[in-house]
Amino acid sequence: GQNIDQPTEMTATEGAIVQINCTYQTSGFNGLFWYQQHAGEAPTFLSYNVLDGLEEKGRFSSFLSRSKGYSYLLLKELQMKDSASYLCAVRGSNDYKLSFGAGTTVTVRA
Amino acid sequence: GAGVSQSPSNKVTEKGKDVELRCDPISGHTALYWYRQSLGQGLEFLIYFQGNSAPDKSGLPSDRFSAERTGGSVSTLTIQRTQQEDSAVYLCASSIQGSGANVLTFGAGSRLTVL
């Protein structure tokens, strides 16, 4: 089975940086995904890590350490529109479906 | 279509009634997934379709839940004799199987409320 943990809520100020941690224990590993979900909307794909290290995509970066079962999503230069839920998801080896954490609600304040 | 389309967007029903939720995946996507999202919970996997292969139904919570995918495209999730604990947002996703990262693209979901 899969066990994926991330904080429930985080609050940050506009223009600041926030780091959302995700730890996982899975039967095998074949990729870690981050999705963003605004209230009442579809989750949208942000990033994918399958090898150790940092993937940077504009204001968002995602890091993976497979040996530690750990990832983080880094949001820089926060904007009000970044207020959303951020979902960490893992694909096990020889698998196709994603297992999701409960999500981290990020609130950006002026 | 341009994205994954789900209908209805909202459904309120009485306990004991049957409901059908529809998903139109992205054209050309061979894989289709159903997930359930309850308040404060992570997305819970329900069922997976890939081409003509037998579906993976391992996530369906009870035999009141079933799903079909006709012609490798549109899918319908059916919940019979609904219970209050079935209240949730039902999300559909599709992907191009075997495409490296195999990123799932989600629809906006169908919010089901069982009174």
Instruction: Quickly tell me which residue has 């309120």 as its tokens.
Output: B12
Residue B102 pLDDT: 84
Give me the amino acid identity at B8. Answer: P
Structure tokens at B29: 């996507």
Which chain B residues are within 8 Å of A104, Cβ to Cβ?
A: none
Average of pLDDT values for A50-66? Answer: 96
CA distance A8 to B29: 33
What's the pLDDT band for A28 if we cut at 50, 70, 90?
confident
Residue B101 pLDDT: 79
Give the gap in angstroms from C-alpha A41 to the nearest C-alpha of chain B.
Answer: 5
CB neighbour list of residue B86: distance below 8 Å, 6 or more residues apart = B79, B112, B114
Residue B113 pLDDT: 97
Closest residue in A to B46 (Cα) is A97
Do the Cβ atoms of A45 and B107 come within 8 Å? Answer: no
CA distance B39 to B72: 31
- B101 vs B73, higher pLDDT: B73
Residue B1 pLDDT: 54
Give the gap in angstroms from C-alpha A86 to the nearest C-alpha of chain B.
Answer: 11
Q: How many CB pairs under 8 A join A and B?
A: 53
CA distance A89 to A37: 13
What's the pLDDT band for A67 if we cut at 50, 70, 90?
very high
Closest CB to B42 among A40, A44, A102: A102
Give the gap in angstroms from C-alpha A13 to the nearest C-alpha of chain B.
Answer: 24
pLDDT digits (tens, 9 = 90+) for B66-83: 999 988 799 999 999 999
Q: What is the DSSP string of B15-54?
A: TT--EEEEEEPPTT--EEEEEEE-TTS-EEEEEEEETTSP
